[in-house]
């Protein structure tokens, strides 16, 4: 009976840590996605602002992009992931990086437009 209890305890600990690790990665991606959405809204404000007022929104947007890039850089897949989980993690990570780079390119175009108007 003690062996059964020990085995049950070990299985529950392993499952809990696997679920926690997977959920932790999901929460990290959710936080980054929320930040991405807020940064997108700030970028839209910058794009719609009058040429002399865009710099305020662009400065805020640059700071948000920096935060996202730092979080993406620090986020790593859990070593205990299966191959399928790792590939799914990489897809999510790559999508967020692509979104950040897309916003950077839009902001760069906006900055160049600002520069050309001066």
Would you say 57 and 110 are in contact if contact means Cβ atoms under 8 Å apart? no
Long-range contacts of 89-93 (CB under 8 A, 24+ apart): 89/25, 92/29, 93/29
Torsion of CA 24, 30, 35, 41, to 10 degrees: 180
pTM listed for this prediction: 0.72
Say whether pLDDT at 59 is over 90: yes
Find all residues with CB under 8 Å of 39, minimum gap 6, and list them: 61, 64, 65, 68, 103
pLDDT digits (tens, 9 = 90+) for 73-104: 999 999 999 999 999 999 999 999 999 999 99
Say whether pLDDT at 51 is over 90: no
């Amino acid at each position: 009976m003690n062996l059964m209890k020990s085995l049950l305890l070990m299985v529950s600990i392993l499952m809990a840590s696997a679920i926690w690790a997977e959920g932790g990665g999901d929460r990290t991606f959710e936080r980054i996605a929320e930040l991405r959405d807020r940064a997108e809204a700030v970028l839209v404000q910058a794009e719609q602002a009058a040429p002399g007022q865009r710099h305020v929104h662009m400065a805020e947007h640059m700071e948000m992009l920096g935060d996202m890039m730092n979080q993406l850089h620090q986020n790593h897949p859990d070593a205990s992931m299966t191959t399928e989980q790792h590939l799914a993690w990489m897809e999510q990570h790559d999508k967020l990086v692509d979104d950040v780079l897309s916003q950077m390119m839009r902001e760069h175009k906006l900055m160049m437009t600002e520069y050309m108007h001066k």
